[in-house]
Amino acid sequence: MELTIPVNNRDHNRGKENAPVTLVEYGDFECPDCKYAYPIIKELQKLEGNKLRFVFRNFPLSQIHRYAFGAACAAEAAGRQGKFWEMHDLIFENQSFLEETDLLDHAKDLSMDIQLFTKDMKSKEISEEVKEDFMGGIRSGVNGTPTFFINGNKYNGLCELNFLREEIEMAARLVKKGGFTNGSV
């Protein structure tokens, strides 16, 4: 399967836009497997440096994770104040604390405008953005979290550092040879 919505300017990303490899994760902030993947992705970013751009898209499995949708909205609201990644990290590092009061505490810890954060977190616009991410994931064949795409192609291997790193290195070599792009618009 391929990523149906190319990486674009609405996405939250870490790394250089022109990095040869783009890793997209469809994730759920309450998912234990996503929490497991979180330090692996952080390490991968350190090891691969300028070769890798990482994109996170919301895929809250609300049927089984009660707080996932609210956490996704909180991360997006933090993004409105330029703190998406800080909130992303805080949520995964404190995954047992995802109730609304916990998310507000996270926003306070990040010195955010709490009134604006609360308004944004509950806004229809942010709710729609989270739903758009989810539907884009569905169209791309995502059926669980985390699901990764490397340069637009679904990664079906294990969520382990060595396996992911090997795939990223291979994708970088293909780009260098002129075989593929990094999956951006």
| Parent domain of 94 | 12-176
169: left (phi over 0), alpha (psi -120 to 50) or beta: alpha
Res. 169: pLDDT tops 70: yes
State how far the Cα of 28 lies from the Cα of 34, in Å rounded to an integer: 6
Number of domains making up the chain: 1
**Mean pLDDT computed over 103-127:** 98
Residue 137 lies in a domain: yes
Res. 75: pLDDT tops 80: yes
Residue 148 lies in a domain: yes
Answer whether 117's CB lies under 8 Å from 63's CB: no
**Mean pLDDT computed over 108-124:** 98
**Mean pLDDT computed over 13-42:** 97
At 34-56, the pLDDT tens digits run 999 999 999 999 999 999 999 99
**Mean pLDDT computed over 27-35:** 98
Look-up: residue for tokens 């509950």? 122
* Identity of the amino acid at 151: N
Tokens of 40: 């692996």
What band does 179 get if pLDDT is binned at 50, 70 and 90?
low
Residue 30 lies in a domain: yes
What band does 111 get if pLDDT is binned at 50, 70 and 90?
very high
Query: Which of these, 180, 164, 163, lies nearest to 172 by C-alpha position?
Result: 180
State how far the Cα of 100 lies from the Cα of 127, in Å rounded to an integer: 15
Please tell me what DSSP assigns to residue 7: B
CA dihedral for 162, 164, 165, 167, sign (positive or negative): positive
Residue 105 lies in a domain: yes
Residue 4 lies in a domain: no
Res. 70: pLDDT tops 60: yes
**Can you give the CATH number for the domain in which 155 is found?**
3.40.30.10
The percentage of the chain sitting over the pLDDT mark of 70, rounded to a whole number, equals 96
Residue 2 lies in a domain: no
State how far the Cα of 85 lies from the Cα of 160, in Å rounded to an integer: 22
**Mean pLDDT computed over 155-178:** 93
State how far the Cα of 162 lies from the Cα of 40, in Å rounded to an integer: 9
Please give the pLDDT value at position 178. Answer: 75
State how far the Cα of 143 lies from the Cα of 28, in Å rounded to an integer: 12
Residue 172 lies in a domain: yes
State how far the Cα of 68 lies from the Cα of 9, in Å rounded to an integer: 24
Tokens of 109: 């810890």
Please give the pLDDT value at position 183. Answer: 58
**Mean pLDDT computed over 26-34:** 98
Answer whether 49's CB lies under 8 Å from 78's CB: no
State how far the Cα of 69 lies from the Cα of 122, in Å rounded to an integer: 11
What band does 181 get if pLDDT is binned at 50, 70 and 90?
low
Res. 185: pLDDT tops 70: no
In DSSP terms, 147 is beta-bridged to 26
Average pLDDT, the chain: 95
